Structure 1
Amino acid sequence: MERVILHVDMDAFFASVEVIDNPKLKGKPVIVGGISERGVVATCSYEARKYGVRSAMPVYIAKALCPNGIYLPTRMARYKEISEKIFQIFYKITPYVEPLSIDEAYLDITELKKDPVSVAMYIKEKVKNTTGLTISVGVSYNKFLAKLASDWNKPNGLKIIRSDMIPKILLPLPVSKIYGLGKKSAEKLNAIGIFTIEELHHLPEELLTEFFGKYGVEIYKRIRGIDNRKVVISRERKSIGRETTLRSDTNDKKELEAYIKSFCSSISKTLITKGLSGKTITLKIKTSTFENHTKNKTLPMHISKEEDILREALEILYSIDFQEKIRLIGVSVSSLEETKLQQLTLFNSDF
C-alpha cells in the first residue's frame, strides 16, 4: 500500500500569533525576533517578506529593507501555548505525528484510509476555528514530496503531489527546493551550471556522490520521487545547548569564557534535571562577517557535571585561533543517553 504523508506548516507562525493577539497589526509588516540592532529575525509576516525580509536575517539589515516595519520581541511561552493546541488537533487524527519544530510536523495518515485532501481540509478548518491561524498542508506518498508540497502555495496552501506527477512536476524547480540541500551546496551546483532539478536529473549518481558524499545518493533518489524515511513518532532530543549574540563583537577569550561558564552551568542543570548525560561537546561561533563555525570534542565517557562540560568547552575555545571578531557564541552537549549511575567527575581524584 502506498503511504499517505502530510506535512503541516503553520504560516509565518510567530508573526501570525502576534496579529491574532493584536488585530491592529493585520496587513502590516510584522517582524518578530531580537529587536536590538544585533538581533536576528525569527520570523516575519508575508507583508514584511515583500520587502525582502527573511528569517535568520540580522535585524539591522531587516530595518534597512523595511524601516516602517513593526519589530516585536519573541514571546515563546505564548507561541508554545498555541502550538500545543494545534498539535492536539493532529494527535486526535492520528498517533503517527512527527514534530519537526514548534510550528511544523509530519503526519502519516495511511491507516485512516480516508481521502487525504478531505483530511487536510479538516485540519486546516479545525486549526482556523480553534486558533484563528492559517496552516499550509502538503500531501504526498513520502516525506520529501509532502514537505515540498506544503511550501507550494503558501500561505493557507494545500497541494497534493501524486506518484504519477513524478518527475515532471519537479523538473522546473530550482535545486534550492531540494530539502536538505543547503545554500552552499546549491551554490556549488550553480557554479557548474546546474540551476534546476531537470539539469540535476542528468547527472549520474556517482558524480553526486563525489560532490556530496553519502548525501549525494539521497539527492539522486529524492529528485526521482524516492524517499523511504518513515514518520518517527518519538523523536529523541539530540542535543542540549545555549547560545547568545554578543553585545559587541570581540575576540577576547576571557570575555567569551564568561559566557561559556554561564552556558555550561545552565546546560548541566538541564541535563541533570532530565536524567541525561552526553559525551560530545560542541563550541559554536558566528564571526562578524556572519560565517558560522563549529568545533567539537567527543569524550570516552558521558558527562553532565558543570565542571566537566566547562573544562572541555574551554579547551576547545583556547584551541581556536580567531581570525575575526566574534558576534555569537554557543555551547552544546550531544550524543545523549540516560544517566543510569551516579556520575563521577572526569577529574575526580578518587576515580
Structure 2
Amino acid sequence: MTEFLQAVDHRKILHVDIDAFYAQVEMRDNPKLKTVPLGIGRDPDQHHGHGVIATANYLARKAGVHSAMGSIEAKRACPDLVFVAPDFDKYRQISVQIHAIYHEFTDTIEPVALDEAYLDVTENKMASPTLAAQLRHRIWQETGLTCSVGVSYNKVLAKLGSEHHKPNGVTVIPRELAQDFMLALPIKAFRGVGEKTLEKFQKLGVKDGRDLHAMSLDDLRVYFGSFGDVLYWQARATHFSPVKDRSVRQSVGKESTFEFALHDRQQVEAAFKELAEKVVQNMEKRKLLGRTLTVKIRDDDFHTQTKGITLADTFDLDPAFMTRQAMLIFDDCYPDEFSVRLLGLTFSNIVPQKYEAVTLF
C-alpha cells in the first residue's frame, strides 16, 4: 500500500460514553454513595469470596479498583470499598431512554454497550461540537447522568476523544489537528493494543504514535500480522469503518419545550398540530406506521405525564387526527387551568408501511 494513498473523509462522528454508568446510576438513586468508593458487584464477604467488579466510581478508581477485577482483589486495593449488586434491568431501561435521545440527533447509531455508542451525524446540519453539547445537556436533563463525548471524522478518533477528558468532558479532534494528536498519543492508548502487543512495542522501542508512524507497513505486518494494517492507518489518523446502524427503531417522536409556559388551549392545540406534522413527515420518510400514539406533557412544576392510545390496527398518518387524539388526552389530564412547559408526540409499536392488517372471517 503506497504512502500517497489518502483517505478523504468528510464524516461527522460522535462517540458517547456515559461516565461510570452503573456506578453513576446508583449514586444518582442513592446520593449517600457519592462520597464513598463504590464498586458495582457482589460483596465477597457475603458470597464466599466470589464476585467481579462490573464498574467503579472515580473515588474507587483512584484507589486502583477497575472493571473486571475480582471483588476480593478490589477490596484489598480499597478496604473501604462499598459494594452494590448490579441491577441490569434498571440499567437497560435507562439505556433505552438514552438511545431515544440519540435518535433525536441521528438514526445512524452503533451501540457498543449499554453505556456507549457511536453516532454518525454527518447529515445533521448543525456543527458537531454544538451537537455534542446539546446531546450532553439532553442526557443530563432527562436522566441526571453525565457523559463524555469525542467528536471527529472517524470512529477511532471519536473514541479516543471521549477517553481524553473524562468524566463529563467533550474533546473535538478536527482534521487539521488529528495527525499531531495521534503522534503524541502513548502507544498503549492506541485501539487494540493490549498487554502482549504493548510488550512487543516495548521491545521494539516504540513508545508513542510518532515512533509507530515511523514504522513501515511491511514491518508492522511482520510483527503484528493483519493488525499491522490497522496500526499503520491509526498512526495516520485514518479509519475506514462506518458507523454500523445496529439499532432497531422502536419509536418516532418529537417534543417542544417552551420558553414561556402555555396557558391557553388554542396554543396547546397549535403546538400539537405542529408536532404531529413533523412526526408524520418522519414516519413517511422512513416508511413506517405505528399502533401506539403517546402524548407527553410537562408542567411548570416539572411534573411529567405520559399517556397513550393503542389501536388494533395502525394509525393513519393524518396530523389532524393525531392532534384531535392528543387534545383528548390533554383535556383528560388538564380539565381546568394549566401551565405547560413541554409537549411531545411519539409513535411506538412500529411496523413497516408494507404491513397490511389481515382480518379472518
Q: Which residue of 1 is the match for residue 98 of structure 2?
A: 86
The C-alpha deviation readout for 1:40-82, integer Å capped at 9, x for no partner, is 1110001111101111111111101100011111110011111
Select the residue among 22, 41, 61 that pairs with 2:30.
22
Residues 19-28 or 186-195, more deviating = 186-195
Spell out the pairing of 1:130-145 with structure 2 (5 A cutoff): 130-145=142-157
1:153 equivalent to 2:161? Answer no
1:33 equivalent to 2:45? Answer no
Select the residue among 230, 235, 254 that pairs with 1:223.
235
Select the residue among 20, 25, 44 that pairs with 1:12.
20
Spell out the pairing of 1:184-195 with structure 2 (5 A cutoff): 184-195=196-207
What is the RMSD computed on CA atoms of the aligned residues?
1.4
Report the residue type matching 1:216 in the other structure. G
Q: Could you tell me which runs of 5 or more consecutive residues in structure 2 were left unpaired when the two chains were aligned.
A: 1-8, 249-361
- Please give the alpha-carbon distance, in whole angstroms, between the structure 2 residues aligned to 1:13 and 1:124: 14
- Please give the alpha-carbon distance, in whole angstroms, between the structure 2 residues aligned to 1:27 and 1:83: 25
Residues 192-201 or 44-53, more deviating = 192-201
Report which of the two structures shows the higher radius of gyration computed on alpha carbons: 2
1:119 equivalent to 2:127? Answer no
Q: Which residue of 1 is the match for residue 177 of structure 2?
A: 165
SS at match of 2:206: coil
**Equivalent residues of 2:109, 2:247 under 8 A apart:** no
1:56 equivalent to 2:68? Answer yes
Q: Which residue of 1 is the match for residue 212 of structure 2?
A: 200
- Please give the alpha-carbon distance, in whole angstroms, between the structure 1 residues aligned to 2:167 and 2:178: 24
The C-alpha deviation readout for 1:146-173, integer Å capped at 9, x for no partner, is 0000001100010000111132112222
Structure 1 residue runs of 4+, over 6 Å off? none
- Please give the alpha-carbon distance, in whole angstroms, between the structure 2 residues aligned to 1:169 and 1:49: 26
SS at match of 1:110: coil
- Please give the alpha-carbon distance, in whole angstroms, between the structure 1 residues aligned to 2:198 and 2:27: 34
- Please give the alpha-carbon distance, in whole angstroms, between the structure 2 residues aligned to 1:60 and 1:185: 28
The C-alpha deviation readout for 1:105-127, integer Å capped at 9, x for no partner, is 00000001211111101110011
Residues 194-203 or 105-114, more deviating = 194-203
- Please give the alpha-carbon distance, in whole angstroms, between the structure 2 residues aligned to 1:7 and 1:227: 14
Q: What is the TM-score normalised by the length of structure 2?
A: 0.64
Select the residue among 110, 116, 120 that pairs with 1:108.
120
Select the residue among 67, 71, 83 that pairs with 2:79.
67
Deviation at 1:235, TM superposition (A): 6.8
Question: What is the identity percentage for the equivalent residue pairs of Structure 1 and Structure 2?
Answer: 40
- Please give the alpha-carbon distance, in whole angstroms, between the structure 2 residues aligned to 1:126 and 1:167: 31
- Please give the alpha-carbon distance, in whole angstroms, between the structure 2 residues aligned to 1:68 and 1:34: 15
- Please give the alpha-carbon distance, in whole angstroms, between the structure 1 residues aligned to 2:113 and 2:178: 28
Q: Which residue of 1 is the match for residue 304 of structure 2?
A: none
- Please give the alpha-carbon distance, in whole angstroms, between the structure 1 residues aligned to 2:33 and 2:40: 12
